[in-house]
Structures are given as structure tokens and as C-alpha cells.
């Protein structure tokens, strides 16, 4: 492990700050595509570990796909670790998002004549911009994380020498399993993920379904009422975000529309916050929601 004296640390800090100031965009800084979320997080940076939690069918995978789209449009190369949906279902969500054709009609193959230009444009957008590698897996266990590290040409301890560069800019993990019974394993997995994020100097975003225990938790004034097993989960997470439904606005007239809020319960860069989004379940599309 490298050691630094205070002069070296100060020099590194000033050089890094100067580079960030003079470069138009830092290569290790990314935007979620949702202004309020970017403002709350101060954008995603290398080494960040973000944990999203939501109930079943709350839109976690759809949000992950939206983030993949937004990252791709920035030119990022992303590794998507998919533990839930099959590749075909992920592609359906990608095409629904890009074409704004209802996902059920795409799934059934009921394409109208006027849909083809939209679909062709979506395919071109996908071909030109998407740099996403899908890594399938049944669960995200510690062993699976070690296999993931090996796929990125790292060894099982997640060590990497200073001259090695990662082949990806971000990692997005869908369906990271959290369960009270396996709290020790969870802690080890999140610690390994955080270590991997810092080693590669890239952000890692993980999505997790709420266990029954977590679903019983309530949020008061943006602060978790934490149980003992959850403290260790947050230790290695830079940002903890819960996905919640809230009463839809009158302007959301479509049966496909619902209003969601992302409750940021841990934020290493600032105060907790709520970010409001609308979600169109037909198009699998999220947008920032103006409550005014």
C-alpha cells in the first residue's frame, strides 16, 4: 500500500483541482441526466458506491436502463450486471425508452406503420451511442463479485497496479440481494464493491429490492429509523437512495404515468434530500418532475 506525506497529499490535491478546473469535463465525473439528482449528489465521481432500494415493481430496472441510456449519451462505456431480467427483456426496455413505443406492443410484436420510423431511429441511437456490456448472473454474491473482477482483468483481491486502466467507466448492478439473514455477507459484498469502485476509480451503482424487514422501515424527516443490521450496510455506501411512490399529480393523466420520489438517506457530500421523478411505465421512461 502506498504512503504519502502531507506535502505529497497537498500537491496531489492542488493538481487534481487544477485539472478539474481547466478540463471541460472530468473523465471520471458523470451525470445521471436528472438535474435535481445530479445537484444532490454533486454528480457521480470515481470511487462512488450508490445503493438504490425499492419494492418489487417500483421501477428499479427501468431506472437502471434510463441511467445506462444517459451515461451512454455522455460517451461512457458501462458494464451492466443483470441478475433479474433476461437479456431480451432488457432490450425491450431499452427499445421502449428510445422509441417511445409501448413496451407491451413491442413485446407482442404489434407494431403499427407509424411506429417503424421511431423504431428505426431508436435502433440507430442504440447502435451509435450505446457502449454497454451486459454481464448476466443469477445473484450478486461475493463470489460473483470476484468473478466480475476477474472479467475486468483484476485478481480476487481487487488489486490493480497504478498503470492499469479499467475498460469501463461505470458499473451498474441490477438486483443486489440484501437480506437480514445474510447481513455479514452483505457487508462483505458492499465492502468489496466499494473497494472495486475505488480501485478502478469509477462509480458503481447497485439496485436492491427491499426485503420484508426493510419494507417495514419508515422514513421520518428524510432519516432512516435504522435497525442494527442496516448500520453495516450503510458503512460502505456513499449514497443511499430509496425509491418511493407518492400521490400522482393531476397533470399525470395517463394510466401509464406515476410519480416517484428518490429519498436520499445517506449523502457523503451534503444533506439528505428528495428528488421527484415521473415514470411512464409504457415507455419505461423517467423524467424530472416539476412540482410547481
Task: Tell how many helices (H) and how many strands (E) occur in the chain.
Answer: 10, 13
Contact 144, 185 (CB under 8 A): no
CA distances in angstroms from 3 to 7, 9, 43, 161, 200, listed in the order given: 12, 10, 28, 15, 19
Find the largest Cα–Cα distance for the chain: 67
The pLDDT, as a whole number, for residue 215 is 46
Bridge partner list, 278: 259, 287
Alpha-carbon span 171 to 193, nearest angstrom: 10
CA distances in angstroms from 210 to 19, 207, 222, 262, listed in the order given: 40, 10, 17, 14
The pLDDT, as a whole number, for residue 259 is 87
Mean pLDDT of residues grouped by 10 in the chain (292 residues)?
Answer: 69 70 66 92 91 86 94 90 79 93 93 93 91 68 59 42 61 75 65 86 87 46 40 75 75 71 87 88 87 46
| Level-2 CATH architecture, domain 28-241 | 3-Layer(aba) Sandwich (3.40)
Q: How many residues does the chain have?
A: 292
The pLDDT, as a whole number, for residue 265 is 83
Q: Helix, strand, or coil here: 96?
A: helix
Burial of 126-138, coded b for 16+ CB within 10 Å and e otherwise, reads: beebbebeebebe
The pLDDT, as a whole number, for residue 66 is 95
Contact 172, 80 (CB under 8 A): yes
The pLDDT, as a whole number, for residue 47 is 92
Domain boundaries, the chain: 28-241
Alpha-carbon span 185 to 190, nearest angstrom: 9
Contact 218, 241 (CB under 8 A): no
The dihedral built from the CA positions of residue 250, 106, 210 and 145, taken in this order, carries a sign that is: negative
Q: Count how many Cα atoms sit within 13 Å of the Cα of residue 160 in the half-sphere of its side chain.
A: 19
The pLDDT, as a whole number, for residue 145 is 60
Contact 62, 84 (CB under 8 A): no
Q: What is the pTM of this model?
A: 0.80
Q: Count how many Cα atoms sit within 13 Å of the Cα of residue 173 in the half-sphere of its side chain.
A: 29
**Strand ranges in the chain using DSSP code E only, listed in sequence order:** 29-30, 44-45, 49-54, 78-82, 132-136, 170-174, 204-209, 219-220, 223-224, 239-246, 257-267, 273-280, 285-288
Contact 167, 197 (CB under 8 A): no
Q: Other CB atoms closer than 10 Å to residue 93's CB: what's the count?
A: 22
Alpha-carbon span 120 to 137, nearest angstrom: 30
The dihedral built from the CA positions of residue 35, 192, 268 and 17, taken in this order, carries a sign that is: negative
The pLDDT, as a whole number, for residue 65 is 94
Amino acid at each position: 500500500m502506498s504512503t504519502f506525506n502531507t506535502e505529497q497529499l497537498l500537491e496531489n490535491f492542488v493538481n487534481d483541482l487544477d485539472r478539474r478546473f481547466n478540463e471541460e469535463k472530468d473523465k471520471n465525473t458523470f451525470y445521471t441526466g436528472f438535474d435535481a439528482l445530479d445537484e444532490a449528489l454533486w454528480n457521480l465521481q470515481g470511487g462512488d458506491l450508490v445503493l438504490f432500494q425499492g419494492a418489487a415493481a417500483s421501477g428499479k430496472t427501468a431506472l437502471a436502463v434510463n441511467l445506462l441510456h444517459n451515461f451512454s449519451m455522455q460517451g461512457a462505456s458501462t458494464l451492466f450486471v443483470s441478475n433479474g431480467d433476461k437479456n431480451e427483456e432488457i432490450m425491450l426496455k431499452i427499445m421502449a425508452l428510445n422509441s417511445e413505443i409501448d413496451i407491451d406492443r413491442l413485446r407482442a410484436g404489434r407494431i403499427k406503420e407509424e411506429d417503424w420510423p421511431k423504431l428505426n431511429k431508436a435502433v440507430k441511437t442504440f447502435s451509435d451511442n450505446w457502449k454497454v456490456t451486459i454481464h448476466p448472473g443469477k445473484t450478486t454474491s461475493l463470489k460473483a463479485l470476484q468473478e466480475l473482477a476477474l472479467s475486468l482483468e483484476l485478481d480476487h483481491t481487487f488489486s490493480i497496479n497504478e498503470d492499469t486502466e479499467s475498460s469501463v467507466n461505470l458499473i451498474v448492478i441490477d438486483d443486489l440481494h440484501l437480506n437480514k439473514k445474510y447481513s455479514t455477507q452483505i457487508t462483505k459484498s458492499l465492502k468489496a464493491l466499494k473497494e472495486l469502485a475505488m480501485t478502478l476509480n469509477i462509480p458503481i451503482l447497485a439496485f436492491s429490492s427491499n426485503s420484508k424487514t426493510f419494507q417495514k422501515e419508515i422514513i421520518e424527516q428524510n432519516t432512516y429509523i435504522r435497525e442494527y443490521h442496516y448500520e453495516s450496510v450503510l458503512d460502505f455506501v456513499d449514497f443511499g437512495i430509496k425509491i418511493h411512490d407518492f400521490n400522482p399529480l393531476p397533470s399525470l393523466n395517463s394510466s401509464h404515468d406515476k410519480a416517484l420520489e428518490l429519498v436520499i438517506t445517506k449523502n457523503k457530500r451534503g444533506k439528505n434530500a428528495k428528488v421527484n421523478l415521473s415514470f411512464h411505465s409504457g415507455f419505461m421512461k423517467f423524467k424530472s418532475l416539476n412540482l410547481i
